[in-house]
Amino acid sequence: MSRLLFQGVPGVTDISAQLHAQSRRSLAPCRVSRRAVHARWGGLLPRSLELVASGDKLHEECGVVAVYGHPHAAREAYLSLYALQHRGQESAGIATADGQRLANIKGMGLVSEIFTDDVLAKLPGRMAIGHTRYSTTGDSALLNAQPIRVDSTKGLIAIAHNGNLVNLGNVRARLERDGAYFQTTSDSEIIVQLIAHSSAGSLVDAIADSLSQVEGAFSIVMMTRDRIFAARDPHGFRPLSMGRMKNPGGPDTVVFASETCAFDLLRAEFVRDILPGELVMVSEDGVTSRQYASGIPQSSCIFEQVYFARPDSRIFGRWVQESRDQMGRQLARESGVPADVVVPVPDSGVTAALGYAEEAGIPFRFGLIRNHYVGRTFIEPEQRVRDFGVRLKLNPVHNLLEGKRVILIDDSIIRGTTSRKIVRMVRGAGATEVHLRISCPPTISPCFYGVDTPSKKELIAANHSIEEIRHFIEADSLAYLSLDGMLQSVRDENNVGYCTACYTGNYPTQWVDVEDILPATVTL
Ligand code: SF4
């Protein structure tokens, strides 16, 4: 059974104070990078962690959900988190409220590992919020898993947060000078402490006041004993949608989720996206809303459309499947090459590859098969086998690749090492040519808005020409989707403004970590 942290659950000891004491000196922001992982383990990663950390993919940070007005709110939150598991697999939590009590249970592991029937039965109430997170392991990670439950001067508050705040240092130091006592080292708690220290008269005013003081990316859900709040940062970096479930003879259940695929599992109807800078409150008086910030240009994360979100979700007013299909088609128009088959790097390259193949009139084939049962931990053989990690996850279908000119479609190249292994794998299966096509522009700058990216020094495209990268990954040709082509692929009547900072280096906020954007030193 997963190790769990219980807060406010009758008959179960709350060990959060003990964990807090153990982790006082550790730094554990919502965004936990490979560098932070290294720091925590003294530079020596356990083997099992090494596999996770060395994956040459970017990691989404979190998924959030909220349920108001359902007799089995915890179970509905559980199902929603289950649908959002792709947004974080390292920890999960659910907090519920029944008008009197506010209970919280969180643990390390997958949603289904943590929330057995017995555990869900300890979470009564008609309201729930939930969170699933990408992070590392250890006690400090368990404490910083979300929701975070704080007993504040404004009463009990639970918060779950997707994103990354960027002006933390100043705000946290100011709050500590004002007497704030932090229970966790998570940046999400800063929002709760700001609420507790706000001089605003009502709770909703205090929340609006607090949100307007923090900068960065946050799609959050919050819960008191009798109300639920949902808000997005003024730039609208991360998605957050509202839905409804009909209850015969009673008021509707209101639900919130990072992605609409969660609504499908609940049979909830999509109502709308929470707007950038909007704070929504749900109480027994119904749904009310206010803009706590306005006039800031929208900069929603375009990488959600490229890679993170599920293709069956509708985010920022647009079906992700449609965006990826268009990216693939545009890629084919921009950088077509004679070939026999189009092969996706599964799973995230599949939709773009379908679009590419249809546009190019070249057969689409599943020439690489992904093992969906690769766990988060495994025992690596004593003797390191070359390219073992990639071979564990992917296997070529020899009869589809042998003697073929192959176009491989993937969604990013971060350090280039994984791409090289995949190109070698396809060639090793008998392909006569391997042409790699990437369904977004080169990643040249790190993200500060909730995506775990390496520093600029480690990004291959920040330091090398496309020809140098092609040579390194041993492909016959390499091409990326252009910036214009990517923006064109997501353009529609909603006129959403997108953040493209990891492709351009133009950040929509003032704050960036200077060390992370220092010139590169990667050698090929
Ligand atoms: S920098 Fe990239 S990953 Fe980060 S929010 Fe902007 S587009 Fe998304």
Q: Could you tell me the distance, in angstroms and rounded to a whole number, from the CA of residue 453 to the centre of ligand 1?
A: 9
- In this predicted structure, what is the pLDDT of residue 112? 94
Cβ 481 vs Cβ 439: under 8 Å: yes
Residue 331 has pLDDT above 60, yes or no: yes
Q: Is the CB of 142 under 6 A from ligand 1?
A: no
For 361-395, what is each residue's pLDDT tens digit?
999 999 999 988 765 444 444 445 556 778 888 99
So which residues are the catalytic ones? 62
Q: How many residues belong to the chain?
A: 524
Alpha-carbon distance of 83 to 77, in angstroms, equals 10
Contact (Cβ atoms closer than 8 angstroms) between residue 232 and residue 222: no
- 10 Å Cβ neighbour count for 495? 8
DSSP state letter for 232: E
Q: What is the pLDDT of residues 473-523, one digit of tens each?
A: 999 999 999 999 999 999 999 899 999 999 999 999 876 555 555 655 545
Q: Is the CB of 409 under 6 A from ligand 1?
A: no
Query: 440 in ligand 1 pocket by Cβ < 6 Å?
Result: no
By most ligand atoms within 8 Å of CB, the mutation choice from 303, 412, 445 for ligand 1 is: 303
pLDDT digits (tens, 9 = 90+) for 115-147: 999 999 999 999 999 999 886 444 467 878 899
Taking the C-alpha atoms of residue 17 and residue 60, their distance in angstroms, rounded to an integer, is 29
pLDDT digit string, tens, across residues 233-252 = 999 999 999 999 999 888 99
Asked if residue 335 has pLDDT above 50, the reply is yes
Instruction: Please indicate whether residue 486, judged by its CB atom, sits closer than 6 Å to ligand 1.
Output: no
What single string gives the DSSP state of each residue in 287-316? EEEEES--SPPP-EEHHIIIIIS-TT-EET
Percent of the chain beyond pLDDT 70? 85
306 lines ligand 1 (CB under 6 A): no
pLDDT by residue (tens digit) across 18-48? 766 665 544 333 333 333 333 333 333 333 3
- Per residue in 171-183, pLDDT (tens digit) is 888 888 888 878 7
* Helix (H) or strand (E) segment spanning residue 343: strand 341-344
The whole-chain average pLDDT of the chain stands at: 86
Q: What is the position in ligand 1's atom list of the atom closest to the CA of 446?
A: 1
User: Which residues face 91 on adjacent strands?
Assistant: 108, 133
- pTM for this entry: 0.89
Q: Is the CB of 68 under 6 A from ligand 1?
A: no
pLDDT tens sequence across 415-427: 999 999 999 999 9
Contact, 414 vs 462, CB < 8 A?
no
Of the chain, the end-to-end C-alpha distance in Å amounts to 44
Whether the CB of 472 sits within 6 Å of ligand 1: no
Q: How confident is the model at residue 455 (pLDDT cuts 50, 70, 90)?
A: confident
Residues 348-355, mean pLDDT to the nearest whole number: 95
Per-residue HEC secondary structure of 184-205 comes to CCCCHHHHHHHHHHCCCCCHHH
Only one residue has tokens 């084939």, namely 365
**Distance from residue 494's CA to the centre of ligand 1 (Å):** 19
Q: Which of 445, 354, 446 is nearest to 407 (CA)?
A: 354
> What pLDDT does 167 receive?
74
- For atom 2 of ligand 1, the residue with the nearest CA is 502
Question: Helix (H) and strand (E) counts for the chain?
Answer: 21, 26
Residue 211 exposed, middle or buried by CB count within 10 Å (0-12, 13-18, 19+): buried
Ligand 1 centroid to residue 432 C-alpha, Å: 36
Cβ atoms of residues 352 and 379 within 8 Å:
no
The whole-number pLDDT of residue 138 equals: 44
Q: What is the pLDDT of residue 28?
A: 37
Counting ligand 1 atoms within 8 A of each CB, the residue from 348, 502, 513, 517 with the most, and so the one to mutate, is 502
Q: Of 44-58, 167-181, 188-202, which range is least confident?
A: 44-58
pLDDT band for position 223 (50/70/90)?
Answer: very high
Instruction: State percent of the chain over pLDDT 90.
Output: 65
For residues 213 and 198, give the distance between their C-alpha atoms in angstroms, rounded to a whole number.
11
pLDDT one-digit tens code per residue, 248-276: 888 999 999 999 999 999 999 999 999 99
Q: What is the per-residue pLDDT for 42? A: 31
Residue pair 479/85 in contact by the 8 Å Cβ criterion: no
In this prediction, residue 222 carries a pLDDT of 97
Tell me the one-letter amino acid at 310: R
The whole-number pLDDT of residue 79 equals: 98
Give the pLDDT confidence score for residue 205 in this predicted structure: 95
> Ligand 1 within 6 A of 32 CB?
no
Tokens 């190790």 sit on residue = 3
CA 304/CA 300 separation, integer angstroms: 8
Test site for ligand 1: of 500, 507, 516, most ligand atoms within 8 A of the Cβ: 500
User: What is the predicted pLDDT for the residue at 512?
Assistant: 58
| Residue 302, C-beta contacts closer than 8 angstroms, at least 6 positions apart | 440, 486, 487, 490, 498, 499, 500, 503
Pick the more confident residue, 84 or 36.
84
Tokens 């070249």, located at residue? 362
Res 9 pLDDT > 60: yes
